Amino acid sequence: MSVAKPATDNQPAKPFLKWAGGKRKLCDFLTESSPANWNRYFEPMMGGAALFFHLQPKQAFLSDSNPELVNAYRVLRDSVELLIEELEKHQDSEEYYYRIRELDRSPDFLKLGNVVRASRLIYLNKTCFNGLFRVNRKGHFNVPYGKYENKFSVAKEDLLSSSAALQNTEISLGNFQAIEEQVEKDDFVYFDPPYLPISKTSSFTSYTREPFGINQQVELRNFCEKLSAKGVKVMVSNSNNEFIRGLYADFTLREVLAARAINSKSTKRGKILELVATNY
């Protein structure tokens, strides 16, 4: 296996996954909202990690509570050539998609190996409806086939540059609070949690088996206050509503217009205000 070269300014990397709530289009605003100086970068709810790939920090810690996502990042960092080989085996048809989707229903799923599971996640992400990652209560991936005209293809160059960007990165599985032991004064932490549903009909909240509701939003804010007391620089994205504004009343709040890309009703796609809270 060959190891990808470290990323350079000439070799931009972008997220290799399309992720619900992904921040790709807000990266300029988020960069402007980042602190002027910081030591190490932490993104403990990384999803597609758009801001990480945009900033390409020298030293970074990425984590998420989704085990399949974390496995895909590790395989991309450590075994990109094998991953590309495995991805090239996939076909694009509805029947094949559902065969690959069903694999996590088997008790032997984990025995498939890390590279095969990583390639499955990337394949499903590129061919499923709207690039969603959504699981049911049993943790089974349940997004339907996307029926797109553009057939699945392996974006080899993008995977190589994303892999290069990940070389000096620690990638771990866990709840966002697990970074507490590692994070130090003057480190920068960017939190992008699942948002509270805007309305009763917008039902997408389940990136993982555990829902992220009001209690978790309060825990996250409390954790941000703990980090603030330690001298850590914190930035949080969230939805624009009275509850979130109240939670972050002691933080600096900025508003930004964001395109809401993932909604099952195309008529409901549009621009909405989101909030960015910082403790600096």
Residues that bind ligand SAM (CB under 6 A): 19, 21-23, 44-45, 47-50, 64-66, 175-176, 192-194, 207-208, 212
Q: How far is the CB of 47 from ligand SAM (least distance, A)?
A: 3
Q: How far is the CB of 145 from ligand SAM (least distance, A)?
A: 22
CA neighbor of 261 nearest in space, from 23, 12, 2: 23
**Nearer to ligand SAM by C-beta: 44 or 57?**
44
Q: How far is the CB of 2 from ligand SAM (least distance, A)?
A: 28
The dihedral region occupied by 37, where left means phi > 0, alpha psi between -120 and 50, and beta the remainder, is: beta
**Nearer to ligand SAM by C-beta: 50 or 75?**
50
**Nearer to ligand SAM by C-beta: 19 or 41?**
19
Q: Side by side, which strands form the sheet with 41-43?
A: 169-173, 60-64, 41-43, 188-191, 233-239, 271-278, 252-259
Torsions phi, psi of 33, nearest 5?
A: -85, -5
Q: How far is the CB of 126 from ligand SAM (least distance, A)?
A: 15
**Nearer to ligand SAM by C-beta: 72 or 83?**
72
Pairing mode of beta strands 233-239, 271-278: antiparallel
**Nearer to ligand SAM by C-beta: 23 or 77?**
23
Q: How far is the CB of 96 from ligand SAM (least distance, A)?
A: 26
Q: Position of tokens 């960007």?
A: 165
CA neighbor of 202 nearest in space, from 113, 136, 125, 262: 262
Rounded CA separation 202/21 (Å) = 13
Q: How far is the CB of 201 from ligand SAM (least distance, A)?
A: 19
Rounded CA separation 60/64 (Å) = 14
Gyration radius of the chain's alpha carbons: 18
Q: How far is the CB of 48 from ligand SAM (least distance, A)?
A: 3
Q: How far is the CB of 190 from ligand SAM (least distance, A)?
A: 8
CA neighbor of 230 nearest in space, from 189, 271, 174: 189
Rounded CA separation 241/274 (Å) = 9
**Nearer to ligand SAM by C-beta: 123 or 195?**
195
Torsions phi, psi of 60, nearest 5?
A: -140, 155
Residues 215, 68 contacting (CB under 8 angstroms): no
